[in-house]
Structure 1
């Protein structure tokens, strides 16, 4: 048995002409750091859950992605973050939504899975649990970035809700197969710029934006959350494998390139199956992504023709 890890940092309208050399390098560097962190866990016999939690923590710490430190602003200038994690061996899962001030929401999601009788916590209750556990928090200044603040001003002026930046969906995620043959997936997001009314997207919803099952695959999604919720996207990939006999690539492409397009949903997903095969389909112009296998150097990519 070998190991496999894949990560993503969002999908959307990502064009070379809109990216500076420095921006490209920053995204590649962050993806590589996440891959290195996750594969370090896997190569030493760590679990898939350990690996995806570690990889997503690294991505949450990178201000260039819409999760953790780089989370976008809500309409009233706050940061409301969502995250989830799932173990393919046990089908246990943990999720949190509308958490504030928390440096790494994925760690709280994992704590919900492993240290509580629940699956999904939200808002003040989730934060009370985080504080009971002593998980690291930060002041609003930690989450403030000039780019995110500018996006909020633009969205307010246009009186619209924005999907991250220039239609980039900056949600982050990781999927892994460990040396023991177990799968796991984790996803984290800052949501939508200028969002209101306690909106929750797919990233925190098990089966929509995140899913893992040793019988089939592990999936982490990034895209227009409302469509991914309606399509139950992550679970749909697993179902097409389990009940229709499709391969991972066939199932992932059916969901993203056909079913989501028919609904009107932009974005993509990353997935790994029980044999270590990887699928990274997206129907947008780009997706920040990377993958690594035992004995091979990590690969990162942004644009479609890579």
Structure 2
């Protein structure tokens, strides 16, 4: 009987030790995963009347493929320990080099038949920033915005002066013909026939047309969190089709189109620029987080679903906070968007889902 009791006691002891080791192993594994540096990235390629019924399968796949190429470019930089600023810049380069988006190569035409490009970038670690407006010969405006941030005492440069600075910094210059695309040129011709101003991507007109809320907005942007806990955001655009008088929208304006602060979040906007400037959309989201204690999603929803519509505008934002939480908020029918976290999980969206 004693032998039987001894054997039962031994079996019970082994079983308990095994369970303890298993639980300990699980705890160690969990701690190991949690201790990995957090990082993430989110992008947009414009918001507006993006409806599946108006999109061919081939065009839909083209947008998805380019969005994936862009975000994977930035994600790789972050995964390898690169900075959020670098990830933002290189990610936006991919979209600037594609005719699909109203930025860089795909920039829309002004009333004069030229292309005027705007961009901005901001480093959340020190609130340093750079922006350019109304440039006509810069292949990648976001690169010039970066040079303004790191190699000048200024925040924003415009027009010919910005292009002079670009030459001094060795930023790639192109002939204005580089920005010509037949699709964008034909859009200008249609609008000039009406002698009105059209927002990018659609036949609805701005300022005087009550159907403005049904139109799309073309801009590209990126926000990122790197392994060092630093945030950055950037935005690039060709502006508004048929724009006059060297009109400048929200994309190059810090606090409106772009904002980054390590205390809160990094934001890039896409929308009817005049309203995003008046609402200071990007900074407003950060301020609500800092001063009211709102979460990123709560702040983004408050600004995009309430404040901007009350002013009469529409559009959307993408953002990431200092904890890696992401918001992709918009009040239009759709927004070209994508996000990736540290695990490499990818999510791409075009329509309101």
TM range (shorter): over 0.9
Where in structure 1 are there 5+ consecutive unaligned residues? none
Equivalent position of 1:222 in the other structure? 270
Equivalent position of 1:15 in the other structure? 51
Equivalent position of 1:33 in the other structure? 69
Equivalent position of 1:298 in the other structure? 346
Matches within 5 A, 1:155-166: 155-166=191-202
Matches within 5 A, 1:27-106: 27-106=63-142
Matches within 5 A, 1:111-260: 111-166=147-202, 167-260=215-308
Q: Distance in 1 between matches of 2:169 and 2:65?
A: 31
Q: Distance in 1 between matches of 2:344 and 2:152?
A: 38
Q: Distance in 2 between matches of 1:22 and 1:157?
A: 30
Equivalent position of 2:314 in the other structure? 266
- SS of equivalent residue, structure 1 residue 108: helix
Which is higher, the Rg of structure 1 or of structure 2?
2
TM-score (norm 2): 0.85
> Could you list the per-position Cα deviations for residues 75-118 of structure 1 after superposition, in whole angstroms to 9, with x for gaps in the alignment?
01100000000000010000000001211000000000000010
Q: Distance in 1 between matches of 2:216 and 2:67?
A: 16
Q: Distance in 2 between matches of 1:47 and 1:12?
A: 31
Q: CA deviation at 1:151?
A: 0.8
Equivalent position of 2:31 in the other structure? none
Q: CA deviation at 1:69?
A: 0.3
Q: Distance in 2 between matches of 1:75 and 1:134?
A: 30
Q: Distance in 2 between matches of 1:299 and 1:59?
A: 17
Q: Distance in 2 between matches of 1:141 and 1:117?
A: 31
Q: Distance in 1 between matches of 2:312 and 2:265?
A: 25
Q: Distance in 2 between matches of 1:271 and 1:115?
A: 26
Q: Distance in 2 between matches of 1:153 and 1:17?
A: 25
Q: CA deviation at 1:273?
A: 0.3
> Could you list the per-position Cα deviations for residues 47-92 of structure 1 after superposition, in whole angstroms to 9, with x for gaps in the alignment?
0000000101111011100000000000011000000000000100
> Could you list the per-position Cα deviations for residues 230-259 of structure 1 after superposition, in whole angstroms to 9, with x for gaps in the alignment?
000000000100011100000000000000
Structure whose residues are more often helix by fraction: 2
Equivalent position of 2:17 in the other structure? none
Q: Distance in 1 between matches of 2:265 and 2:176?
A: 37
Q: Distance in 2 between matches of 1:276 and 1:297?
A: 13
Q: Distance in 2 between matches of 1:142 and 1:29?
A: 23
Q: Distance in 1 between matches of 2:330 and 2:315?
A: 6
Q: CA deviation at 1:43?
A: 0.5
Q: Distance in 1 between matches of 2:179 and 2:345?
A: 32
Where in structure 2 are there 5+ consecutive unaligned residues? 1-36, 203-214
TM-score (norm 1): 0.98
Q: Distance in 2 between matches of 1:109 and 1:185?
A: 12
Q: CA deviation at 1:21?
A: 1.0
- SS of equivalent residue, structure 1 residue 281: strand
